[in-house]
């Protein structure tokens, strides 16, 4: 059966107000297509473990094994002076789990439109919801890792979750919004320039090492020297506030450097999440009518 497409000049020439209205109606669009999103989410999540003996248990086994490796290699083998190896391993592991979830979803978003070309070519298909299942899967994987962090931290007495733990759902929601915003930008750009996927791999590697996953914020402060430039370097990176907010919420020890209040990090993260979501949605919907002819 052949799908007949017609050119819609209204879609091409829609103004900013119309697109902002579409952004405001984005949650409603997601709800209207919730069954499709749920099916895509289930397929992507369970497809990771299809045919394996442990099945979904791999979501727990993998982060446990990862933490054990970090503890032995970075905590014991390399050492950390007078620091505690378990605490240091938890610090790194919490950062890796968070950043890995973010980056994996964004990497999937790069090709989400191209790989679903058969759906995108359908006139009524809401292609802007395609990144949502990948973003939700990344949140699930992060949640499993976060459980491991809290369980090991509480068991060893290194993490003491407090009232900040109640802020974790807010941080996760902002992480989801940030993922969708950047994901929509990448998905749209990759339709026009297929090199985006390759460039993103290089960029994400640099982003990983420039974020406080393995290193301590005070190390960067000592390297830069100027407090103002240090703060600028930190907050110009959306992953910084995301990592710090997660660590504070989970009860990890955060260095006394600058503002460490969780609500400050949440406000910075919210600014990044809102900005990227607006730009991503506006850019995607402005070029959506061109996607079918290019995929």
**Cα gap 54→69, rounded to integer Å:** 20
Residue 25 included in any domain: no
176-227 confidence digits (pLDDT tens): 999 999 999 999 999 998 889 899 999 999 999 889 888 888 888 888 877 8
* Count of beta carbons in the 10 Å neighbourhood of residue 61: 11
Q: What is the pTM of this model?
A: 0.83
24 domain-assigned: no
Specify the number of domains making up the chain: 1
Does residue 223 belong to any structural domain of this protein?
yes
Residue 4 belongs to some domain of the structure:
no
Q: Which segments of the chain have a pLDDT < 70?
A: 1-15, 49-63, 67, 70-71, 74-84, 123, 252-260
pLDDT in tens, 263-286: 889 999 999 999 999 999 999 988
Q: Which pLDDT score, from 0 to 100, does residue 257 have?
A: 38
**Cα gap 90→66, rounded to integer Å:** 11
> Which range of residues forms the domain containing residue 186?
34-45+55-291
Rounded to whole angstroms, how far apart are CA atoms 208 and 212? Answer: 8
Q: Is residue 5 part of a domain?
A: no
Residue 26 lies in a domain: no
Rounded to 5, what percent of the chain is helix, strand, coil?
Answer: 75, 0, 25
């Amino acid at each position: 059966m052949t799908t007949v497409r017609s050119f819609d000049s209204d879609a091409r020439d829609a103004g900013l107000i119309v697109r902002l209205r579409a952004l405001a109606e984005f949650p409603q669009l997601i709800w209207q297509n919730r069954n499709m999103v749920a099916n895509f989410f289930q397929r992507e999540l369970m497809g990771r473990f299809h045919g394996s003996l442990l099945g979904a248990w791999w979501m727990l086994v993998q982060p446990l094994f990862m933490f054990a490796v970090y503890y032995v290699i970075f905590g014991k083998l390399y050492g950390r002076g007078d620091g505690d190896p378990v605490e240091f391993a938890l610090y790194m592991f919490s950062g890796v789990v968070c950043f890995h979830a973010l980056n994996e979803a964004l990497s999937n978003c790069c090709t989400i439109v191209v790989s679903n070309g058969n759906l995108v070519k359908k006139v009524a298909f809401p292609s802007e919801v395609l990144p949502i299942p990948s973003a939700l899967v990344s949140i699930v994987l992060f949640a499993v890792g976060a459980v491991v962090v809290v369980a090991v931290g509480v068991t060893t007495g290194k993490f003491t979750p407090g009232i900040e733990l109640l802020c974790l759902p807010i941080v996760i929601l902002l992480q989801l919004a940030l993922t969708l915003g950047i994901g929509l930008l990448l998905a749209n750009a990759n339709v026009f320039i297929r090199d985006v996927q390759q460039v993103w791999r290089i960029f994400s590697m640099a982003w990983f090492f420039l974020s406080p996953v393995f290193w301590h914020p005070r190390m960067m402060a000592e390297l830069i020297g100027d407090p103002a430039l240090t703060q600028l370097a930190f907050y110009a990176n959306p992953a910084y506030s995301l990592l710090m907010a997660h660590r504070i919420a989970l009860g990890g020890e955060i260095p006394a450097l600058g503002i460490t209040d969780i609500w400050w990090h949440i406000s910075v993260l919210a600014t990044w999440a809102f900005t990227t979501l607006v730009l991503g949605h506006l850019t995607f919907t402005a070029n959506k009518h061109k996607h079918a002819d290019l995929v």
